[in-house]
Amino acid sequence: MTGRRPTAVVAYSGHPGAYGEQAAARFLPHQPTRAVAGFAAVVAAVRDGTAAWGVLPCENRYAGAVADAIRAVLAGGLTIVADLWLPVPHALLAQPGVDLPSLTEATSHPQALTQCDAFLVRHRLTPIPALTTATAARAVAHAGPPHRAAIAPPDTAALYGLDIVADHIATDPDNATRFWLVGRAGGTPWAGSPRTVTVAVRADPFDAGGAPPGHVVLGDDGGGPWVVDLPPDSETTLAVLARLGRGPVQPLGCYPRLGGP
């Protein structure tokens, strides 16, 4: 990492209106935010000092791990300093005057497309991957085509001049995504008792088909990584870490949960 002093900016992936921007406002409501192009760019902004913190999704209640975001954190060597669960009330957004029967495609981040799979099947909409939900909304507004809609936060409709064609379209009516706030090692904007310890470990030290103890955020039977939440209780955590000692353990953070379950 460079010696450059980080600016007081929170980086998130995509464009204004993204769920990552909403999470940043929940984590640090008085800090400026900056949109960057992708999860690796969020990590790079924190590493090079152009942002003090980064916001990344790590898992969804329905669709599971956001693997590319988690792997960006692992590769970047950043520390998780807090997490929260954010409600994700997806809406289908289209150009003004376009109705649902006229649509044939829906574009969004692959996770959002998975989270709305039942709606897509029911209305015979072909899924088109995009960088983020807000990126998808911006693309539909600026470039179309008119038969393509975006799955995005409802608030982005007004932001990009789109109509809400259908609201609350997620398969899980209580759809929510967990976000991590990440930063450089040794820095945290909060005091207080940590509630979660997260570590990464290779899969191969474990018995075939066996998962590590704790809540598995990301698991991979093909050699890793496993990313696991552990209880913050010192004795329990040390005992679990001792068991994980059959393979390298990468601590990712010991941090408070700021919202959600």
- Provide the CATH number for the domain around residue 120: 3.40.190.10
Indicate whether 185 belongs to any domain: no
Indicate whether 184 belongs to any domain: no
146 and 207 co-located in one domain: no
Residue 166 burial (CB count, 10 A): 17
Contacts of 150 (CB under 8 A, 6+ apart): 92, 93, 94, 106, 107, 108, 130, 133, 136, 137, 139, 140, 156, 162
Picking from 167, 187, 211, the residue at the C-terminal end of a domain is 167
pLDDT in tens, 180-189: 999 987 666 6
Which pTM value belongs to this model?
0.87
Indicate whether 10 belongs to any domain: no
97 and 147 co-located in one domain: yes
Picking from 167, 186, 217, the residue at the C-terminal end of a domain is 167
Indicate whether 158 belongs to any domain: yes
Indicate whether 51 belongs to any domain: no
Q: Are strands 53-60 and 64-65 parallel, antiparallel or unpaired?
A: antiparallel
Q: Which domain holds residue 203?
A: 196-261
Q: Is the pLDDT of residue 205 over 60?
A: no
- Mean pLDDT confidence for 157-172: 95
Picking from 148, 167, 186, the residue at the C-terminal end of a domain is 167
How many domains does the chain contain in total? 2
Indicate whether 134 belongs to any domain: yes
